[in-house]
Amino acid sequence: MKKINCILLIDDNMADNEYHKIIIKKSGVCDDVRVVTDGKKALEYLENTGKKNQPELFPLPELIYLDINMPGMNGFEFLEAYKKTAEKLHSKVVIVMLTTSLNNIDQIRAEASGEVDEFEIKPLTEDSLKNTIEKYF
């Protein structure tokens, strides 16, 4: 199984984040899991990746799990802002929308964004994580 360097969880639900961190660690595909609780914080995190002075503080994630419903800046608002970020981010990052939404419109909207690679229903499972790693890495 391929191992990746960093996964970023963007979700305001801390219980989900803790559970997903456990699943990721247990799977063995990634040791560095970063968590932010809304889209604005995610953009700030991504803007800090690769800074020359201390890149280990903000490693560029290779995989992002993105929730839809968050306060401040939701998942779709994040995607709109993300489109405007540096191109270097887009070519290296796989985005999976991980949500409780069963609304088909959300899935269609995510796929139409051009940024979302997969749409999955919470919770993250070890099998779905490993399938994503195998498919994209």
Is there a domain that residue 105 lies in? no
Tokens of 57: 């503080």
Whether residue 12 is contained in a domain is answered as yes
Query: What is this structure's pTM?
Result: 0.93
Report the pLDDT value the prediction gives residue 52, as an integer from 0 to 100: 63
- Which CATH number fits the domain that encloses residue 78? 3.40.50.2300
- Digitized pLDDT (tens) for each residue of the chain, 137 residues in all: 789 999 999 999 999 999 999 999 999 999 999 999 999 999 999 988 867 666 678 898 999 999 999 999 999 999 999 988 866 666 679 999 999 988 899 999 999 998 999 999 999 999 999 999 999 99
- The CA radius of gyration of the chain, in Å to the nearest whole number, is 14
Q: What pLDDT, on the 0 to 100 scale, is given for residue 97?
A: 97
The reported pLDDT for the residue numbered 86 is 66
Residue 8 pLDDT: 97
Contact 66, 119 (CB under 8 A): no
- Pairing type for strands 6-10 and 63-66 reads parallel
41 domain residue, yes or no: yes
Structure tokens at 84: 């405007």
Has residue 48 been placed in a domain?
Answer: yes
Cis bond before residue 123 (omega within 30° of 0): yes
50/59 Cα distance (integer angstroms): 7
Whether 68 is covered by a domain: the verdict is yes
Question: CB within 8 A of 131, min separation 6: which ones?
Answer: none
Q: Is the residue at 49 inside a domain?
A: yes
Integer distance in angstroms from the first to the last C-alpha of the chain?
10
Instruction: Count CA atoms closer than 13 A to 69's CA, side-chain side.
Output: 10
